């Protein structure tokens, strides 16, 4: 398995807005080959720090998604958020190969 984290630090007063956005996400990724799960994580100590965790069957499945048209569509939608402060936030991305379960 392969896991990708995208972490953003948003203004403290906008965390609930971002959570709402993700609760109403397009779900295009859910149909991608090799997709396992999507979760939005909120840091307990820093509630304005949010991490998207997407689990894939393989790294190749993730790369196919990341190079595909649906990925581009999803990220173009993000740039069109009415709140330009949120649209301008660049996530910190980390990628992990699962080596034990």
Domain boundaries, the chain: 2-97
Pairwise CA distance, residues 82 & 17, whole Å: 11
Give the architecture (CATH level 2) of 2-97.
2-Layer Sandwich (3.30)
Q: Does the predicted TM-score (pTM) go above 0.85?
A: yes
- Using CB atoms within 10 Å of the CB of residue 97, give its burial: 0 to 12 exposed, 13 to 18 middle, 19+ buried: exposed
Q: What is the pLDDT of residue 61?
A: 98
Number of other CB atoms surrounding residue 20 within 10 Å: 9
- For 17-31, the pLDDT digits (tens) are 999 989 998 899 999
């Amino acid at each position: 398995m392969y896991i990708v984290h995208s972490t953003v630090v948003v203004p403290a007063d906008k965390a609930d807005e971002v959570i709402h956005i993700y609760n109403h996400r397009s779900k295009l990724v859910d149909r991608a080959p090799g997709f396992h799960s999507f979760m939005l994580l909120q840091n307990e100590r820093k509630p304005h720090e949010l991490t998207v965790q997407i689990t894939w069957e393989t790294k190749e499945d993730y790369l196919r998604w990341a190079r595909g048209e649906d990925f581009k569509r999803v990220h173009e939608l993000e740039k069109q958020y009415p709140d330009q402060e949120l649209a301008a936030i660049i996530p910190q991305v980390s990628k992990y190969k699962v080596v034990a379960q």
